[in-house]
Amino acid sequence: MTNPPLTLYLAAPRGFCAGVDRAIKIVEMAIEKWGAPVYVRHEIVHNKYVVDDLRAKGAVFVEELSDCPDDRPVIFSAHGVPKSVPAEASRREMVYVDATCPLVSKVHIEAERHSEGGLQIIMIGHTGHPETIGTMGQLPEGEVLLVETVEDVAKVAVRDPEQLAYVTQTTLSVDDTVDIVAALQERFPAIKGPHKEDICYATTNRQAAVKAIAEHADAIFVVGAPNSSNSRRLVEVAARAGCGYSQLVQRATDIDWDALEGVRSVGITAGASAPELLVEEVIAALQGRFDVTIEEVETAKEAVEFKVPRVLREQA
């Protein structure tokens, strides 16, 4: 019996972005330079496969700086940290490397610049996400107010409606933030926005690619982790763009085969912290059950690279 035909639309770009690539290199180079163990505060990026791989190489993942010894290097995750964290590391005379994505650091600098100009900041982001905690922690308590929804905008209590600016978590859905920004501008006409869109190029590109394949695919799989904001947004974007079924899968073993009953076309993409090897694993699983024809749908080319910190480029 022959396998049923399946057209597989492969989104491009997908998977690792420059910030994730840099963060992983930072951990690997730190282990190479200082030997194991090297401590990492929080998951370096939100992907179990990546974290497990780095753990096997000698990284120790901890929740707080208090879990680290004074005499071993510590790395801060790509999502960014509150200012209190490097301050405490300096007080303890620890060797530390900041793997914060440069695009997240740009938002931090922006928030500080607005604050120095006397403005209170409204951040569009998700409560409890490491990036939100890191950005809000750049300024004293009360200087950054968090909104998650249009409804939150109506309730937020500000110091002075004439002295406001907003910033955005870099991994949100482009479509979601449009409505929240519009609500902020309607309620606070004087609010200042970022010079350039805060949502990162990789988030924007991956969402655009998903929209392009959603119109062709009966189902879409997003390879990524449940705690990855940008991966979860891709699932939502696919559903909103008209795809009848979209599922987040960490590995090929997560595929819901019953949902593919009668499906003739499938789209695949990956969140910015998911390695290509996991995409290949999902493709191989589909090839085991279907006669697969692969079509890559490319909506943008990416050539962004971020340098690792100088301390890791210097000879040990």
Contact 288, 2 (CB under 8 A): no
Say what the pLDDT of residue 314 is. 80
Residue given tokens 């006397």 in the structure block: 118
CA dihedral angle for residue 88, residue 91, residue 96, residue 97, rounded to 10 degrees = 70
18-101, what's its fold? Rossmann fold (3.40.50)
Domain with CATH 3.40.1010.20 in the chain: 5-16+201-298, 102-187
Q: Can you give the pLDDT of all 316 residues of the chain as single tens digits?
A: 789 999 999 999 999 999 999 999 999 999 999 999 999 999 999 999 999 999 999 999 999 999 999 999 999 999 999 999 999 999 999 999 999 999 999 999 999 999 999 999 999 999 999 999 999 999 999 999 999 999 999 999 999 999 999 999 999 988 889 999 999 999 999 999 998 888 899 999 999 999 999 989 999 999 999 999 999 999 999 999 999 999 999 999 999 999 999 999 999 999 999 999 999 999 999 999 999 999 999 999 999 999 999 999 886 4
Q: Which helix (H) or strand (E) holds 56?
A: helix 48-57
pLDDT at 1: 73
Peptide bond into 37 cis (omega under 30): yes
**Active-site residue set:** 131
Helices (H), 188-306: 201-214, 229-240, 276-287
What is the helix, strand, coil percentage profile of the chain, to 5? 40, 20, 40
Q: Which residues pair with 166 in a beta bridge?
A: 122
5-16+201-298 CATH choice from 3.40.190.10, 1.10.1040.10, 3.40.1010.20, 3.40.50.300: 3.40.1010.20
pLDDT number for residue 173: 86
Sequence-separated contacts (24+) of 110-113 with Cβ below 8 Å = 110/167, 110/194, 110/195, 110/198, 111/135, 111/138, 111/139, 111/144, 111/165, 111/167, 112/138, 112/139
pLDDT score recorded for residue 105 = 97
Q: Residue 315: its pLDDT value, please?
A: 62
Separation between Cα atoms, residue 119 and residue 151, nearest integer Å? 22
State how far the Cα of 72 lies from the Cα of 260, in Å rounded to an integer: 49
Question: CA 313, CA 316: separation in Å to the nearest integer?
Answer: 9
Alpha helices in 156-251 (DSSP H): 174-187, 201-214, 229-240
Take residue 133 and report the two structure tokens written for it. Answer: 């905690």
- List the structure tokens of 34: 């200082």
Is pTM beyond 0.85? Reply is yes
Question: What is the CATH code of the structural domain delimited by 102-187?
Answer: 3.40.1010.20
Residue carrying structure tokens 């600098």: 109
Distance CA(170)–CA(230), nearest Å, equals 9
